[in-house]
Amino acid sequence: MSIIAKDSGIVCDESRLMGFPAPMSAAAEQLFLSAMGAGMAREDDGLLIKQYQGYGAPSVAETGTEEEEAAKAKELSVTPAGKPKKVLFVGLGAMGKGMSLSIKKAGIEVLGYDVKDAALDAYRQAGGKTADDLLSGAKDADVVVLVPNTAAQAEDILVGLDGKGICTGKLSIHG
Amino acid sequence: MGELTIVLPQNAVVVLCSTIAPTAAVNLQKALDKVGKGHQLVDAPVSGGPSRAETGDLALMASGDDAALARAHAVLRALSAQAGNEINLHLIRE
């Protein structure tokens, strides 16, 4: 800890002399200094996390055997289920258009939908197939991809609660 | 605006590619559960911009139920692995 505190001090001193702002380094230096002040000078700098535990955060120390922890650390592996028969892709904007066409390029049957006619036109121009409306597009779709701006829009598309649903922050839950 | 869940078949997977709060994802799954057709949400925010969306080369962090991830896998790979970058796709158990 004392080494990294010293090194971050050097970085901050140099940047100050050059008149170059380094706000993240400044913040990091303060954190390392607080660890030093807490008596952690001889600890590994990674143990800075112990400072946060002091504020009531749960312990992050590993408690299992080496094998148990190694198994937990592995990325989740999932056995893929094969191509879906039909995908509905909702939201053909800046990201959605390219994403939906990528799905098509992978040989997956995909129908695109957007509320804006301009987006639908651009998508068809680029070779995509569009649904006439949301509900006919959703028929028999095993996978739906949504690219709305907000969770509230996603909720609206899925369960149509017109802004009175769980995701709009109001306390009432409709059912 | 819509009510997709009325028309979607049983056990359809809903892949959400926007960046939303973790609690919003939990709430959306609750809304799907209420419909009672086994619809599962895969929360899959993406990163990389429009040019990487077009080449199917987005970084994608997907979390969801194992069965839902399995059914969505081909689609997730179509979005993230088509430029040969297998490292783009990260699957997370919720």
Q: ipTM of this model?
A: 0.94
Q: What pLDDT shows up at residue B20?
A: 82
**Distance from B83 to chain A by nearest Cα, in Å?**
10
- Among B6, B10, B14, B93, pick the best mutation site for testing chain A contact (most A Cβ within 10 A): B14
Stretch B15-34: mean pLDDT, rounded? 90
Q: What pLDDT shows up at residue A160?
A: 83
Q: What pLDDT shows up at residue B18?
A: 86
Q: What pLDDT shows up at residue A62?
A: 80
Q: What pLDDT shows up at residue A147?
A: 93
Q: What pLDDT shows up at residue A165?
A: 58
Interface contact flag, B18 A154, Cβ < 8 Å: yes
Instruction: Give the nearest chain B residue to A77 (CA atoms).
Output: B91
The CA angle B38-A166-A173, to the nearest 5 degrees, is 90
All residue ranges of chain A with pLDDT < 70 are 74-75, 161-175
Reading the block at residue B65, the tokens are 């139920």
**Residue B73: pLDDT band by 50, 70, 90 thresholds?**
very high
CB distance B74 to A84 below 8 Å: yes
Element of type H or E holding B47: strand B46-47
pLDDT exceeding 90 applies to what percent of chain B?
79
B68-86 per-residue burial string, b: 16 or more CB within 10 A, e: under 16 = bbbbbbbbbbbbbbbeebe
Q: What pLDDT shows up at residue A173?
A: 40
**Option in A80, A95, A158 nearest B50 (CB):** A95
User: For chains A and B, what is the number of CB pairs under 8 angstroms?
Assistant: 177
